[in-house]
Chain A
Amino acid sequence: MKKFLVLVSVLLIAGLALSATEYKVENFNGKTGGTFYYWGLGDPKSFNIDWAQETSSTVPLGFIHATLLEADEGGMPTESGLAKEWWFSDDGLTFFVKIREGLKWSDGAPFTIDDVYWTFVDVSLNPEQTANGNGSYMDSNDQLPVVEIVDSTTISFTWTVPMVTALRQVGFRTIIPKHALSEAVASGTYAEQWTIADVDKLVGMGPYVMTEYVEGVRIAFERNPNYWKFDANGVQLPYLDKLNYEIISDQNTALLRFEAGELDIYGPSAEQFPRLAGMAAEKGWVTGVGGPALGSEFITFNFNTKDPVKNEWFRNEYFRKAFVYALDRQSIIDSLYNGLGSPLYGPVSPSSGFYNPEIEKYNYKYSITRARLELKKGGFDWAPDGTLVDSKGNKVEFELLTNAGNRTREAIGNIVVDGASKLGIKVNYTPIQFNTVVSRLLDATYDAVVIGLTGSVDPGTGWNVYRLDGGLHFWNYPPFYNEEDHITEDMYILPDWEKRVDEIYRLQTSAVVDQDRYDLFAEFQMLFAEYQPVVFTMAQNFLYVHKGDFHLTIPQLSPATGILYQVEGFWKD
């Protein structure tokens, strides 16, 4: 009897352990088997997630790694990943994460809370160990969290003020294996670990494991035998056994490869899309058009050039607004994007859940008349020969830069010149080398620049741009921000709305209630719409096309999901 009881309890425990490993994704209902053919532009540079910078490296790494939380269709960290449960303490200062039990790394080693603790404390929070540093983990008092292991499955992060962005910063952080990397981290050689020559050493929690990398040809993946997600019928994911990530160095070649049936899904450029859409019915392809991309190109005017006359213009909100009206965005969208783009008038893309539609009340659109009206309001006037002069009689003329080789930015530069000439403004436009643009921007030794930054669903990730002390706050750097700076206390002017934007960016990290953050970012967008510190232009719509026998997990992809959303649930007939 006693033996029987022992046996029963052993079976029970085993049964519990087994059920604990199963994470069922209810809405997945696909077929197993087959190979997923995907592609990437250019070779990866590193297989080390903390030193990889380009998408050519980070996208393939996404297949082999997992995070505590996963994104929902809006790109927000609300779905369970390696974390089973997560919650904030009542005061909002502490963020708790309870991980799933009984999971294994792709090499069979157990996944424990130690891996999570070590990933954060030894790697993420230590600026020497990652390229990006630990800035995004700091709360509004510039303090890093105190990380503690609560029990064998729970870890806590405590800040000095509430920190909602913990959801994103902690939740979307790739957890790396302590057993494979702790020695390198301790000896300070982590940056040289997991290079492109180390395919056989990579260990992860993601749906696939990397098996081969042939330079310039492909990265081959196979299913991770220890992957922890199962579908509604208890089938272990991913559905597709193999993944071939073809490395293609030219977008036109990729198009030909997709047309020849060698790729399953393809994100075409706007130029290529109409051709593919035309062939779709005949070939049985499925095409999709999502909202405008999250990143955007914009024009920034320097409030602190070395010329006080120019500073007067650029600080004048009516001057900047004249440019909002003077840019014929639609003609660029038509010529560059085949009409597959959207004009943007604020820093948050309409594809983001944070987009505030109220900014549309300003009714910005292309109108030279209204641009002239704004200039009048700003105290500008026109000389008899039609050139624009400011209230002191100076002719308005400035230099516009962008990086050569970027077709979109070069085209935007051209419409700026065109729009400005209709307002009697002479713009000396020169596309120059990228590195020169960067150093001119960061030294605040430019007049105006057309540039773009990567975007994200959550405007909070733009803190380094919008905070006054942010490294990319290039339109109005505070005095003596850079060494040998020409910006002095006397010339620096800080408008109230800039102060408020800075405040919003400090408050949003500690807003405990989601609604508060929405409200703060709504206000932020209204301020930008009203004062237009930088003039946003437009974004290309998100485009994709896939084969008919290839199935995604959701009916419609968007910029927030990206193409590879829930790759473990992709399947083929």
Chain B
Amino acid sequence: MLKYIVRRLILAIPVLLGVSVLAFLIISAAPGDFLDAYRMNPSITRDQLRLLERQFGLDQNVFVQYFKWLGNVLTGNFGYSFTYRVPVFNLVWRRLGATLLLSITTMIFTWGIAIPLGIYSALHQYSLSDQTFSFLAFIGISIPNFFFALLWLFMSAKTGWFPIGGLISQNFNDLSFFGKIGDYLWHVVGPMVTLGTSGLAGLMRQMRGQLLDQLRQDYVLFARAKGMPEKNVIYKHAVRNAINPIVTIFGYALSGLLGGAVLTETVFGWPGMGRLVIEALNAQDLFLVMATLLLSAVLLVIGNLLADLMLAWVDPRIRFRLG
């Protein structure tokens, strides 16, 4: 299995290289560059703009720029952000905590609710509770995130039950250790529920559908016929078979852990990666965009690998083999 993992990782190198070439070319092909905001500044002269172009290396051919960047990356230097003037991974690092806090709690919230509800709905197909859960989940998926976020903030402002956005309270520094943890959790509820509700329906319906499929299979009929306890039939056989595609989805979800969610983050004032990336894209902060894109690509590769490993674990029929 170790050999398999190593081979998969080696195969990832050309994938990442390809991603970097494409990303670099597409960003460069977009009209304008980082200095456009400077160009519209009435106090900056044309000579100064030429000087800045040289300083940022934007006066060079895109291929020269790419290979320079690649050379630096191979020595571990991912470049400086044009906007912030600090190494790009310092910026990513600063946002990591808040991003993971939100994405992991959201994941726990979504998966923790969707999977049991999906199973429950499948076992009680067309019952009132199945219909109710589906209905609620679809309300969640139909309300746009930014609107749900605004509703949540409005509710918080009116009732005072939750904070009006943000990551921590104004008196955070005076809190005890557990107080601080509680403060983080109190603040994460809003964005977590906003993001969680929108992903709930899809996952729940998937689980429900898969399980229903399995329950109609002959082996379930056989197991029941031979008098196996219903619990065993469902949880040892049907669910285990139904979970297969869900594991693949889980692998993809892992790659989104660091992606962030722009609209929800913006409304809640959550200092996550999504806002960093969207601001970098708008400003055409080349190296920062490249770093975050590469990071997502790496996570996608790893997420896929983990998903495959987990598949083999839940499904003994799958063997490690590279075609």
Q: Which chain A residues have a beta carbon within 8 Å of chain B's beta carbons?
A: 37, 42-43, 45-46, 48, 51, 53, 127-128, 131-136, 191-192, 195-197, 214-218, 244, 246-250, 252-253, 256-257, 259-260, 262, 433-436, 438-439, 442, 451, 453-454, 461-465, 471-472
Complex: A216 Cα to B52 Cα, angstroms: 29
Cβ-defined contact, B39 with A216, below 8 A: no
Cβ-defined contact, A260 with B157, below 8 A: yes
Taking CB atoms, residues of chain B closer than 8 Å to A253 are: 153, 164-165, 267-269
Cβ-defined contact, A131 with B38, below 8 A: yes
Taking CB atoms, residues of chain A closer than 8 Å to B33 are: 435
Complex: A318 Cα to B47 Cα, angstroms: 35
Which segment, of B68-76, B90-98, B126-134, faces chain A? B90-98
Complex: A256 Cα to B154 Cα, angstroms: 8
Cβ-defined contact, A133 with B47, below 8 A: yes
Cβ-defined contact, A131 with B42, below 8 A: no
Cβ-defined contact, A438 with B32, below 8 A: yes
Is there a chain A Cβ closer than 8 Å to B317's Cβ?
no
Taking CB atoms, residues of chain B closer than 8 Å to A191 are: 55, 85
Cβ-defined contact, A46 with B154, below 8 A: no
What 9 A-B pairs have minimum CB-CB distances, sorted nearest first?
A216-B271, A435-B32, A133-B48, A135-B45, A436-B31, A438-B36, A215-B271, A256-B157, A195-B86
**6 cross-chain CB contacts under 8 A:** A42-B279, A192-B80, A215-B271, A256-B154, A256-B157, A471-B39
Complex: A42 Cα to B279 Cα, angstroms: 10
> What's the minimum C-beta distance from B254 to chain A, rounded to whole angstroms?
24
* Beta-carbon nearest neighbor of B54 in chain A: A128
Q: Are A453 and B40 also in contact (CB < 8 A) when A195-B85, A439-B31, A464-B45 are? A: yes
> What's the minimum C-beta distance from B225 to chain A, rounded to whole angstroms?
59
Taking CB atoms, residues of chain A closer than 8 Å to B36 are: 434-435, 438-439
Q: Which of A132, A215, A257 contacts B94 (CB 8 A)?
A: A215
Taking CB atoms, residues of chain A closer than 8 Å to B39 are: 438, 442, 471
Is there a chain A Cβ closer than 8 Å to B170's Cβ?
yes
Beta-carbon contacts of B32-76 to A below 8 Å, as 1s and 0s? 110011111111111111011001000000000000000000000
Taking CB atoms, residues of chain A closer than 8 Å to B86 are: 192, 195-197
Is there a chain A Cβ closer than 8 Å to B284's Cβ?
yes
Query: How many B residues have CB within 8 A of the partner chain?
Result: 52
Q: Are A48 and B85 also in contact (CB < 8 A) when A131-B52, A435-B33, A471-B44 are? A: yes
Taking CB atoms, residues of chain A closer than 8 Å to B166 are: 216-217, 246, 248
* Beta-carbon nearest neighbor of B285 in chain A: A45
Taking CB atoms, residues of chain A closer than 8 Å to B141 are: none
* Beta-carbon nearest neighbor of A252 in chain B: B150
* Beta-carbon nearest neighbor of A196 in chain B: B84
Cβ-defined contact, B85 with A464, below 8 A: no
Q: Are A135 and B48 also in contact (CB < 8 A) when A192-B85, A248-B269 are? A: yes
Is there a chain A Cβ closer than 8 Å to B232's Cβ?
no
* Beta-carbon nearest neighbor of A216 in chain B: B271
Q: Are A135 and B38 also in contact (CB < 8 A) when A128-B51, A256-B164 are? A: no
Taking CB atoms, residues of chain A closer than 8 Å to B45 are: 133, 135, 464, 471
Complex: A127 Cα to B38 Cα, angstroms: 14
Q: Which of A133, A192, A217 contacts B271 (CB 8 A)?
A: A217
Cβ-defined contact, A214 with B167, below 8 A: yes
Complex: A259 Cα to B157 Cα, angstroms: 8
Complex: A196 Cα to B93 Cα, angstroms: 13
Taking CB atoms, residues of chain B closer than 8 Å to A127 are: 47-48, 51
Complex: A192 Cα to B43 Cα, angstroms: 22
Is there a chain A Cβ closer than 8 Å to B30's Cβ?
yes
Cβ-defined contact, B43 with A453, below 8 A: no
Taking CB atoms, residues of chain A closer than 8 Å to B170 are: 37, 218, 244, 246, 262
Q: Are A250 and B44 also in contact (CB < 8 A) when A46-B85, A215-B94, A217-B168 are? A: no
Complex: A127 Cα to B51 Cα, angstroms: 8
> What's the minimum C-beta distance from A380 to chain B, rounded to whole angstroms?
32
* Beta-carbon nearest neighbor of B263 in chain A: A250
> What's the minimum C-beta distance from A305 to chain B, rounded to whole angstroms?
19
Cβ-defined contact, A214 with B38, below 8 A: no
Is there a chain A Cβ closer than 8 Å to B275's Cβ?
yes
> What's the minimum C-beta distance from A298 to chain B, rounded to whole angstroms?
13
Is there a chain A Cβ closer than 8 Å to B83's Cβ?
yes
Q: Which chain B residues have a beta carbon within 8 Å of chain A's beta carbons?
A: 30-33, 36-49, 51-52, 55, 80, 83-86, 90, 94-95, 98, 150, 153-154, 157, 164-168, 170, 265-272, 275, 279, 282, 284
Q: Are A436 and B44 also in contact (CB < 8 A) when A197-B86, A214-B168, A217-B166 are? A: no
* Beta-carbon nearest neighbor of A464 in chain B: B42
Cβ-defined contact, B38 with A248, below 8 A: no
> What's the minimum C-beta distance from B185 to chain A, rounded to whole angstroms?
16
> What's the minimum C-beta distance from A295 to chain B, rounded to whole angstroms?
10
Q: Which of B43, B98, B267, B269 contacts A132 (CB 8 A)?
A: B43
> What's the minimum C-beta distance from B141 to chain A, rounded to whole angstroms?
23
Q: Are A464 and B167 also in contact (CB < 8 A) when A192-B80, A192-B86 are? A: no
> What's the minimum C-beta distance from A172 to chain B, rounded to whole angstroms?
12
Complex: A102 Cα to B85 Cα, angstroms: 35
> What's the minimum C-beta distance from B76 to chain A, rounded to whole angstroms?
18
* Beta-carbon nearest neighbor of B167 in chain A: A217
Taking CB atoms, residues of chain B closer than 8 Å to A133 are: 44-45, 47-48, 51
Complex: A433 Cα to B33 Cα, angstroms: 12
Cβ-defined contact, B164 with A216, below 8 A: no
Most chain B CB neighbours (cut-off 10 Å) among A48, A131, A136: A131
Cβ-defined contact, B48 with A250, below 8 A: no
Taking CB atoms, residues of chain B closer than 8 Å to A435 are: 30-33, 36, 284
Taking CB atoms, residues of chain A closer than 8 Å to B85 are: 46, 48, 51, 191-192, 195
Complex: A472 Cα to B33 Cα, angstroms: 17
Complex: A247 Cα to B167 Cα, angstroms: 10
> What's the minimum C-beta distance from B51 to chain A, rounded to whole angstroms?
6
Taking CB atoms, residues of chain A closer than 8 Å to B271 are: 43, 214-217, 247
Additional A-B contacts beyond A127-B48, A195-B84 (7; CB < 8 A): A128-B51, A192-B80, A215-B271, A216-B272, A250-B269, A253-B267, A464-B44
Complex: A131 Cα to B34 Cα, angstroms: 13
> What's the minimum C-beta distance from B31 to chain A, rounded to whole angstroms?
4
> What's the minimum C-beta distance from B310 to chain A, rounded to whole angstroms?
33
Complex: A461 Cα to B42 Cα, angstroms: 8
Taking CB atoms, residues of chain A closer than 8 Å to B55 are: 128, 191
Taking CB atoms, residues of chain A closer than 8 Å to B267 are: 249-250, 252-253
Most chain A CB neighbours (cut-off 10 Å) among B41, B85, B284: B85
Cβ-defined contact, A262 with B164, below 8 A: yes
Taking CB atoms, residues of chain B closer than 8 Å to A51 are: 85
> What's the minimum C-beta distance from B162 to chain A, rounded to whole angstroms?
12
Complex: A237 Cα to B32 Cα, angstroms: 46
> What's the minimum C-beta distance from B282 to chain A, rounded to whole angstroms?
8
Q: Are A46 and B84 also in contact (CB < 8 A) when A250-B269, A253-B267, A439-B31 are? A: yes
> What's the minimum C-beta distance from B286 to chain A, rounded to whole angstroms?
13
Complex: A191 Cα to B55 Cα, angstroms: 11
Taking CB atoms, residues of chain A closer than 8 Å to B32 are: 433-436, 438-439
Complex: A119 Cα to B30 Cα, angstroms: 38
Most chain A CB neighbours (cut-off 10 Å) among B38, B46, B267: B46
* Beta-carbon nearest neighbor of A190 in chain B: B85
Taking CB atoms, residues of chain A closer than 8 Å to B154 are: 256
Most chain A CB neighbours (cut-off 10 Å) among B43, B150, B279: B43
Complex: A453 Cα to B83 Cα, angstroms: 21
Taking CB atoms, residues of chain B closer than 8 Å to A434 are: 32, 36, 282
Taking CB atoms, residues of chain B closer than 8 Å to A247 are: 269, 271
Most chain A CB neighbours (cut-off 10 Å) among B49, B94, B267: B94
Most chain A CB neighbours (cut-off 10 Å) among B39, B42, B51: B42
